[in-house]
Amino acid sequence: MLGLKKNKKDKDGKRKSEKKEKKGKDKKSVGSSEDVAAPVYSTKAQRTLLVIDSESRDWAPLFSPVQGLKVEQCGWKDMIVQAESNGQALVNFLTATKETKVCQPDFVLVRQLVRGLCEDELYTNALYGLLFAGIPAVNSIDSIHQGLERPAVYAALRGGKDKFPLIPMSYYSHAKAMRFTPDFPLVAKIGSAEAGYGKMRFQTSDDFGDFRGVVALHKDYVTLEKLIEDREYDIRVQKVGTHLRAYKRMNSNWKGNVGTCVLEEIEVTDTFREWAEECGKLFGGMDILTVDAIHSKDGKDYILEINDTASGFAPANMEEDMRHVRDLVLQRMHEAYPDD
């Protein structure tokens, strides 16, 4: 049976292993963290976990204590999928060492964006194959599919407007539609580009007219947002299962996620907890997500967007957060295969 075994605690609440080694207290995250215990798992059947992530992060060692679990890893660009209506899929892929392999995944962990910046970096065909097969995953393949486009995510968030202080947004399907715009200054975003790409700010309508002429050469939609001129700092709330973190990010660049910034982990407030938990209910449920927001000097918060399963982790907490992901995956695998 798949299960998690944690170290027992003595009457004083200290781990026996810690007492025996006479080590100091473990470092705790500021958020609602729980102790990260070494997992003891086994499966009756041989199971295959496919991790879709960059080769710069090696997930296999994290799952090495799991008996009966084989871990395969590749990126979206290196895989092709054949799926059958009986719920099975064959994935052909290249490993980091450029070895060609084939696997039949029982579960998938997605930690890489399904799209890049260019047209040839759109890997939805592989995603559709996993969706067609109905393979269980973290996050669910269905939620990843539904969250691919910024307008769809914003529309889902708008359904909880009483809980989410969303930044005002306008949508334009084509350049010709941009005849009437919100008040300036504003921020324009092309398509669903990430990491500050495809994003410009405009102070006047004259500047925006030049931008509209450029957009006319492309097929992407455009969203416009109010520019928060009195921004004090950015907020990121991170959710991995039930584990939460919150960060404050200071950056002189108006694009808060571009350039050099100061990142500080802060307390997970009741408001941040509500954001994370309510966003986690979207698209049938999302286990891994981050909520990005702006805090202005007048004390107001504006939620910009949510990022799903491929959300990046802060370098200082990378190893611990990857362990939280591992434990989450094993929990979801047990739920998918309760007889193991």
Predicted local distance difference test score (pLDDT) of residue 192: 82
Q: Which stretch of DSSP H or E encloses residue 17?
A: helix 16-21
Predicted local distance difference test score (pLDDT) of residue 204: 85
Predicted local distance difference test score (pLDDT) of residue 282: 95
Domains of the chain: 47-138 (3.40.50.20), 139-167+229-313 (3.30.470.20), 168-227 (3.30.1490.20)
Predicted local distance difference test score (pLDDT) of residue 84: 92
Q: Which of 131, 160, 125 is nearest to 143 (CA)?
A: 131
What are the structure tokens assigned to 285, written together? 């449920």
User: What DSSP designation does 15 have?
Assistant: B
Cβ neighbors of 69 (< 8 A, separation 6 or more) are: 41, 43, 46, 47, 48, 49, 63
Predicted local distance difference test score (pLDDT) of residue 290: 97
Q: How far apart are CA 124 and CA 115, in angstroms?
A: 8
For the chain, residues with pLDDT lower than 70 are 1-44, 160-161, 195, 253-260
Cβ neighbors of 228 (< 8 A, separation 6 or more) are: 167, 294, 296, 302
Q: How far apart are CA 149 and CA 248, in angstroms?
A: 26
- Side-chain-side CA neighbours of 138 within 13 Å: the count stands at 25
Predicted local distance difference test score (pLDDT) of residue 303: 96
- Side-chain-side CA neighbours of 12 within 13 Å: the count stands at 5
Predicted local distance difference test score (pLDDT) of residue 43: 67
Q: How far apart are CA 126 and CA 112, in angstroms?
A: 13
Q: Going by DSSP bridges, is the β-strand pair 137-138/107-110 parallel, antiparallel, or unpaired? A: parallel
Predicted local distance difference test score (pLDDT) of residue 259: 59
Predicted local distance difference test score (pLDDT) of residue 207: 81
